[in-house]
Amino acid sequence: MKIFHTLAQLPPDFGPVVATIGNFDGVHCGHRWVIDRVNARARSLGLKSLAITFDPHPARVLRPEKPHTLITPLAQKLEQLATTGVDATLVLPFTLDLSHLTAETFAREILRDAVHVREVHEGENFRFGHGAAADIDSLEALGRELGFAVQCYAPQILRREAISSSRIRRLLLAGDVSQARALLGRPFAVQSTPHSGRGYGTRYTVPTINLAPYGELLPANGVYITSLKVGKEEFEAVTNVGNRPTFGADSFTVESHILNFHPLELTAEAPLELAFLHRLREERRFPSPADLLTQIKKDVGKAQRFFSLRGTDLNRS
Ligand SMILES: Cc1cc2nc3c(=O)[nH]c(=O)nc-3n(C[C@H](O)[C@H](O)[C@H](O)COP(=O)(O)O)c2cc1C
Ligand SMILES: Nc1ncnc2c1ncn2[C@@H]1O[C@H](COP(=O)(O)OP(=O)(O)OP(=O)(O)O)[C@@H](O)[C@H]1O
């Protein structure tokens, strides 16, 4: 997949293309469904397919006072988009200036003049232009005027509700990583690097690998069955997301205890990818580290059972 980070990076002979526009946070099953159609249509017309997205996420620019964490930060979103088979992604820098473009200017200057779009495919809830004033009908009208076609899709539904990034965000904030996984079509995962802990784990409970402070979306505090990739190697793990109240003052961290551990060389830059498979329980304050250790052993037992059953229907979401 080719990646363009500005309009200026597009070659002058770029296009014509079949395109879809959106934030694509999470690159969920609804996004993939639209992109599959864009790819198929591009192939049948002998054109290239293009995803047009924005960075930073528009919510961060338009409502900076309201924190907006991402399911997939840009690098991970681009990795996921690459797996869809789309030929190219254009990442438009989302600035206040861009947000002030009217729908008509966006369609004329970006879609027609820069990208040379032949067809645009969108879900029916698509909105664009200053103040999100324009909808899919306005896009169709602009297409007729400017010379491109618009294909509109009804929302893809899973478990009686439309698949959307907002729905996945809500599920993760509620700790429901199993439903989030169904909507994403893969487990929710965060990419980070290691960070040193306080050494309490090795002394009082179980040894853990801590993640460096992570600024994007994490599932609700609690204990999860996870898989942890260290470089290319994948381990089975149990992970605590939270403040570790048993040890006193709050100190938020994400830490994983590897089940099938072998000694590792873990540099500060080692790439980690932590995938959340199943929620086990809430984080709790235990009367003593020994009580916590007893509970962690039960968590480990459940995780071992989960992994031994993996591949059977029981663990399919
Ligand atoms: C599977 C697992 C479950 C945990 N559950 C809790 C919990 O419910 N309450 C709590 O206070 N700490 C919990 N912890 C965190 C331990 O307190 C943690 O291992 C210890 O604070 C290690 O800190 P360190 O990494 O800074 O050395 C859990 C850790 C793991 C790996
Ligand atoms: N479930 C779905 N079915 C069909 N099209 C979808 C679905 N979800 C998103 N799309 C379409 O994919 C494109 C990109 O979507 P975008 O990421 O902007 O929205 P979203 O996933 O609904 O996110 P949010 O919940 O934040 O609004 C848009 O055309 C959108 O309408």
Q: What is the mean pLDDT of each run of 10 residues along the chain (317 residues)?
A: 96 93 98 98 98 97 96 98 98 96 97 97 94 95 98 97 98 98 98 84 83 97 98 96 88 95 90 98 96 97 95 51
Closest residue to atom 2 of ligand 1, CA basis: 240
- Predicted pLDDT of residue 196: 82
Distance 265 CA to ligand 1 centre (A): 22
* pLDDT of the residue at 122: 98
Side by side, which strands form the sheet with 88-93?
A: 2-4, 88-93, 48-55, 17-21, 117-123, 149-153
Q: Whose CA is nearest to atom 29 of ligand 1?
A: 240
**DSSP codes, 65-77:** TS----SS-HHHH
Q: Which listed ligand is nearest to 184 at the C-alpha?
A: 2
- To test the pocket of ligand 1, the residue of 278, 292, 298, 302 to mutate (highest count of ligand atoms within 8 Å of its CB) is 292
C-alpha–C-alpha distance, residues 53 and 2, integer Å = 13
The interface predicted TM-score (ipTM) is: 0.87
Distance 186 CA to ligand 2 centre (A): 17
Q: Is the CB of 200 under 6 A from ligand 2?
A: no
Q: What is the pLDDT of residue 64?
A: 95
Nearest partner of 30 among 183, 135, 152, judged by Cα:
183
The residue with tokens 């009367």 is 287
Using an 8 Å Cβ cutoff, are 231 and 270 in contact? yes
Please give the pLDDT value at position 314: 46
- Which ligand is nearest the CA of 128, by number? 2
**φ, ψ of residue 95 in degrees (nearest 5):** -120, 170
Residues 158/59, Cβ–Cβ less than 8 Å: no
Tell me which residue of 276, 27, 247 sits closest to 174, measured CA to CA. 276
Find, among 265, 272, 266, 185, the residue nearest to 227 by Cα: 272
pLDDT number for residue 203: 73
Tell me the CA–centroid distance for residue 51 and ligand 2, in Å.
Answer: 12
pLDDT at 74: 98
pLDDT, residue 265, reads: 85
Q: Relative to the alpha carbon of 151, which ligand is closest?
A: 2
Pocket of ligand 1 (CB under 6 A): 197-201, 205-206, 208, 210, 223, 238, 240, 244-247, 255, 257, 283-286, 292, 296, 299
Residue limits of CATH 3.40.50.620 in the chain? 2-161
- HSE of 91, CA atoms in CB hemisphere, 13 A: 15
- Show the tokens assigned to 220: 């609700």
Ligand with smallest separation from the Cα of 254: 1
Q: Does the C-beta of 235 come closer than 6 Å to ligand 2?
A: no
Range 2-161 has CATH code 2.102.10.10: no
Question: Taking the CA atoms of the chain, what radius of gyration do you get in angstroms?
Answer: 22
The first and second tokens of residue 187, run together, are: 């487990």
Every domain of the chain with CATH number 2.40.30.30 lies at 187-311
> What is the spatial distance between Cα 76 and Cα 21, in angstroms, rounded to a whole number?
18
Query: Which of 223, 236, 238 has most ligand 1 atoms within 8 Å of its beta carbon, as the pocket-test mutant?
Result: 223
CATH architecture designation of domain 187-311: Beta Barrel (2.40)
Among 235, 240, 243, residue to substitute to test ligand 1 (most atoms within 8 Å of Cβ): 240
Total number of residues shown for the chain: 317
Cα 232–chain centre separation? 20
